Structure 1
Amino acid sequence: MANIIEADLCVIGAGSGGLSVAAGAVQMGARVVLIEKGKMGGDCLNSGCVPSKALIAAAAAGDAMRHAGRFGVSGQEPGVDFAAVRDHVRGVIAGIAPHDSVERFEGLGVTVIQAAAQFTGRREVVAGNTTVRARRFVVATGSTPAVPPIPGLEAVPYLTNETVFDLAERPEHLIVIGGGPIGAELAQAHRRLGVRVSLLEMFKVLGKDDPEVTAVARRRLASDGVEIHEGIQIKAVSRQGDAIGVTIEKNGVETTLSGSHVLVAAGRKATVEGLGLDVAGVSYSAKGVAVDRRLRSSNKRIFAVGDVALVEGLGAYQFTHVAGYHAGIVIRNALFKLPAKVDYGALPWVTFTDPEIAHVGLTEAQAREKHGDKVAVLTALFAENDRARTERATEGLVKVVVGSRGRILGASIAGRHAGELLQPWVLAIGQRLKIGAMANMIAPYPTLGEASKRAAGNYYTPTLFSDRTQKIVRFLQWFG
């Protein structure tokens, strides 16, 4: 006989957003059911952020060995055991997995069901032989790799982020389709591990960020030996004996690249199929579940968080930290009936190439479109930072966009540890601080963070060192 569970909250999907909602709600006294048909931890733990950053760390270790000579330390081309690299990645995942495990959540008091979930009504879900009736539901099903409709692609074995971390042997030539953050990160990591890499992008590699900032990472990709093909169309993919051929066209000229492996990194699509959302009265599309800024769907008892949430007027941002942010919004709405709303005004993101690219707020182009000539752009180069010089990491810059009366509108950073350096700017924009708050900060020496202070200080340079200021100083000297 089927089991029937009554709950306050039923969460579908045990990725970052779903786990955060479930853990928070149960510890606040709610009766919580968590349903997951795949691996606990979702994409981030098993095939996304965690394994990719572990692979990047392995690649950075190899690159450090390769270039150690610049510090007077004997450097050499590293020997790469790809199976051992894979084991390193799996070990990192295994170390984090207990935090996301069934056992931990059951220990917190969550009822965990490991089965596929499907709505059978507006307030009812079936998973396996269990029916869950809840006051509120949260759809946290995440996203999966999007596969572009390239002729012949379906007939060849291709990799995605869900399979690339299982490679036990080093590819001879990896062809990466997609020059966004995932494609760029994995292209560089594999190149540093000794793989020949071709990176294919229809538009510009890393084209969604400020071009002055992304140029830093693009130059490093090229100097690392990644073969970049931009502004191209992929016409076909085909078998070429034991190899895979990818035919591209640029300016009317066709070229076929021959590789041993193809990695598809052309974006992601929301996981909405098979959930019975129609039966539940939930509006959705291939882009995700349509929600208002309180993350409520067209059925106000059903919320959506994370990659699957398509927020009215704001769109979808597929980042783990956004899923965690959404969790807090949902808990306040679903448990406390507080009208908390999504605000992406201080939403940061980081691309973990080397150098890293980090951004929050408006880009220069966005700021000028919105505020016109009232915008001031401040920059500070890593090449002028003493800590960066000591570490031979002088590629990069801090770029800050300031509006009228010194209000900080946005910040972009390219350079070592850019993701860490961005965080004071996230706070500043979120708290609506003015540029003086950053300029007056005491930064310890020598740190990379001094670059942020220097950029902020440049806001005052035209006034401080002007002819008028010099005249005032000379005048005041007459009074002793």
Structure 2
Amino acid sequence: MAVGNRIIDLLVVGGGTAGIVGAKTAAGFGARTVLVEQARTGGDCLWTGCVPSKTLLSAAGHAVTARALTGQAPEFAAVRKRIFAAIDTIEPVDSPEALEAAGVEVIKGTLRFRAPGVAEADGRTIRFRQALIATGAAPVSTGIPGLDPGATVTSETIWELDTLPRRLAIVGGGPIGCELGQAFARLGSEVTMIVRSRILPREDPDAAGLVREALETDGVRILENTTVENAVSTDAGCRLLLAHGANVDADVVLLATGRTPRTAGLGLERIGVSLDTEGRVITDTRMITSNPLIWAAGDVTANPRFTHLAGVHASVAASNAVLGLKRRVSGTVPRVTFTSPEVAAVGLTTADARLQHRARTVRHHHVDRAVTEDSTGGFTRLIVDRRGKILGGTIVGPRAGESLAELTLAVQKGMTTSDLAGTTHPYPTFSDGVWNAAVADVRERLANPVARRAMAALVWFRRHRLDMPENHRRDR
């Protein structure tokens, strides 16, 4: 398929997770689909996000075990080799060749919209009926006066380090800062985290507290409720001057303070696509922008920035665009921070007493698998309404992300704790925490006076029914 003078059914801008899923979805329906990517397909997830960071976390976990057994941790060069091997293994799935095989034409170049239905990329004019914007977001890399760019990395550029930093300062306390901070500390770096409020501010305070304890156990110094005022260069790197007067010396500074959408230079104003005050593309729940023929998905939008969400949203957008459907995206969004312990959450994580919500918490010293693994420090907490409907929850512990899948389905489908309690679960698993919390909620509801009187009446009726003479006839 060539662009030529043919009008493309769906033009996809960006070759990350959202772009790849959206393009393959459209092509799978038989739509003429073109994807334009200025760098390399695979996006942040493959090259600088999910794949390298989770490989790093795995290597760091193995380093803890190796140090305990042998007194030595793996060389940083070996860790980097393992990271690049993981990327190389997964890359073919996201490659231009894989997209072409799925019926998508791939163009490498920088795209700019020229007018409604017209774009230009790599010197070629593309005429299209509809478009999907999936250009993603980039880490914020500035903001501290005096900070030497040569001593600074982001979540995108930290993978370019060829030696382990002796002193690593991290500005930011979200999932990226916590994950990378713990990993580098376990590999041997002296890590200091500088956090404006507290680490993992979106998560249950109890969950954040357990992660804080784990990070400190691994040697991470955490400075919460403070900011960096400015920085000065030193012979070994830089010195960060904090708001309360303290200093932090570092060889490398990781900026993990957020991401900014990649919308500059696209020419969105020429096709009537509106942005919010932070430059993010505004969409409705069907992923339509202010231009009804332009769709958007992934980190370029105002939605939570998760790879799994980008893929789902792009699939919905492409299906709606190509087939004329009116599917809406779900508001049930699971999230996981892959520290040790993991923190996984979905839906509501705090009970609202005004709405008669209640929290059902199971500490993991009551989860047998956690006992056998000697990892009982976590907990599972469900948030339910007065009728037992599951509204959300938080899980902290090993494999919390896997255990969250059942809880996510329960929230999505409006299930109750009775539904979970009445379902047979495999034993022993870490997901027993979800089941045990559901059972505890059901038992407490059955213990209220009305339920107890009703059950007592049923027991009395059953007892007297069985005591009737016709129920005691002898077998003949």
Normalising by structure 2, report the TM-score. 0.92
Give the equivalent residue in structure 1 for 2:358: 376
CA-to-aligned-CA distance 1:20-48 (integer Å, 9 cap, x gap): 01111112100000000011101111001
- 1:317 paired residue number: 304
How far apart are the structure 2 equivalents of 1:462 and 1:188? 39
Deviation at 1:397, TM superposition (A): 0.3
Q: Which amino acid aligns with 1:56?
A: L
Matches within 5 A, 1:345-364: 346-364=332-350
AA of the residue aligned to 1:363? T
Q: Which amino acid aligns with 1:11?
A: V
Q: Which residue of structure 2 lines up, in the alignment, with residue 394 of structure 1?
A: 376
Paired AA for residue 368 in structure 2: D
Rate the CA distance shift 1:478–1:23 in 2: closer, same or farther, 3 A.
closer
One-letter amino acid of the counterpart of residue 416, structure 1? P
Q: What CA deviation, in whole Å up to 9, does each residue of 1:283-321 have, x standing for no partner? A: 1243411122221112211111101123xxxxx211101
Residue 163 of structure 2 is aligned to residue 194 of structure 1 = no
Is residue 261 of structure 2 the alignment partner of residue 274 of structure 1? no
Q: Which amino acid aligns with 1:358?
A: A
Contact kept, 8 Å, 2:384 with 2:390, in 1: the verdict is yes
User: How many angstroms apart in 2 are the aligned matches of 1:451 and 1:77?
Assistant: 35
Inter-partner Cα distance in structure 2 for 1:219 and 1:473: 50
The 3 A distance-change label for structure 1 pair 124 and 466 is: closer
**In the aligned structure 2, how far is the partner of 1:330 from the partner of 1:474?**
53
Q: Give the CA RMSD over aligned residues.
A: 2.1
The answer on whether the counterparts of 1:80 and 1:194 sit within 8 Å (CA) in structure 2 is: no
Provide the rounded CA distance (Å) in 2 between the counterparts of 1:80 and 1:165.
Answer: 17
State whether structure 2 residue 276 is matched by structure 1 residue 300.
no
Offset at 1:404?
A: 2.3
1:82 and 2:83 aligned = no
Runs of 4+ in 1 over 4 A off after TM superposition: 2-5, 463-471, 473-480
One-letter amino acid of the counterpart of residue 409, structure 1: L
Structure 1 letter corresponding to 2:324: K
CA distance in 2, matches of 1:308, 1:474: 58
Partner of 1:70: none
Paired residues for 1:23-102 under 5 Å: 23-67=24-68, 75-102=69-96
CA distance in 2, matches of 1:478, 1:279: 79
What residue identity is the alignment partner of 2:44?
D
Superposition map of 1:435-446 within 5 A = 435-446=417-428
Distance 1:227 1:121 in 2: 52
Matching residue of 1:106: 100
In 2, Cα distance between the equivalents of 1:335 and 1:88? 40
Please give the per-residue CA displacement for 1:204-260, whole angstroms capped at 9, x wherever unaligned. Answer: 11111111222111111111110000000211112011221111123xxx0111111
Whichever residue aligns with residue 290 of structure 1, its letter is: I
Compared CA separation, residues 415 and 287, structure 1 to 2 (3 A): farther
Which ranges of structure 1 fall in alignment gaps of 5 or more residues? Answer: 68-74, 311-315
Q: Is the 8 A contact 2:417 2:442 kept in 1?
A: no
* Secondary structure in structure 2 of the residue aligned to 1:80: coil
Task: Out of 76-85 and 428-437, give the one that drifted further.
Answer: 76-85
Q: Aligned residue for 2:316? A: 329
Residue 296 of structure 1 aligns to a residue whose secondary structure is coil
The equivalent residue for 1:71 is none
For residues 67 and 400 of structure 2, the distance between their equivalents in structure 1, rounded to whole angstroms, comes to: 23
Q: Tell me the secondary structure at the aligned position of residue 335 of structure 1.
A: helix
Is 1:22 equivalent to 2:13 in the alignment? no
Kindly tell me: are residues 478 and 123 of structure 1, through their superposed partners in 2, closer, same or farther at Cα, counting changes over 3 Å? closer
* Distance 1:3-1:240 versus aligned 2 partners, 3 A rule: same
Query: 168-177 vs 459-468, which deviates more?
Result: 459-468
Q: Which residue in 1 is equivalent to 2:398?
A: 416
Question: Equivalent residue for 2:117?
Answer: 123
Q: Is the CA contact (8 Å cut-off) linking 1:4 and 1:130 kept in structure 2?
A: no
Query: Contact conserved, 1:86 with 1:167, CA < 8 A, in 2?
Result: no
- Distance in 2, matches of 1:157 and 1:290, equals 35
Secondary structure (helix, strand or coil) at the match of 2:188 reads: coil
Any conservation in 2 of the 1:214–1:414 contact (CA below 8 Å)?
no
How many Å separate the matches in 1 of 2:383 and 2:79? Answer: 40
Q: What is the number of residues matched between the two proteins?
A: 459
| Cα displacement (A) at 1:464 | 4.8
Partner SS for 2:325: coil
> Which residue pairs with 1:339 in the alignment?
326
Mapped partners of 1:96, 1:214: distance in 2 = 32
Classify the secondary structure of the residue corresponding to 1:404.
coil
| TM norm structure 1 | 0.91
* Structure 2: runs of 5+ lacking an equivalent: 468-476
Aligned match for 2:236, one of 237, 242, 245: 242
Deviations 1:318-365 (A, max 9, x none): 110111111121122101111112231x2100011110000111121x
Give 1:4 deviation, angstroms.
Answer: 4.4
2:430 to 432, 448, 451: 448
* Distance (Å, rounded) in 2 between the aligned partners of 1:260 and 1:473: 73
User: Using the alignment, how far apart are the partners of 2:401 and 2:305 within structure 1?
Assistant: 17
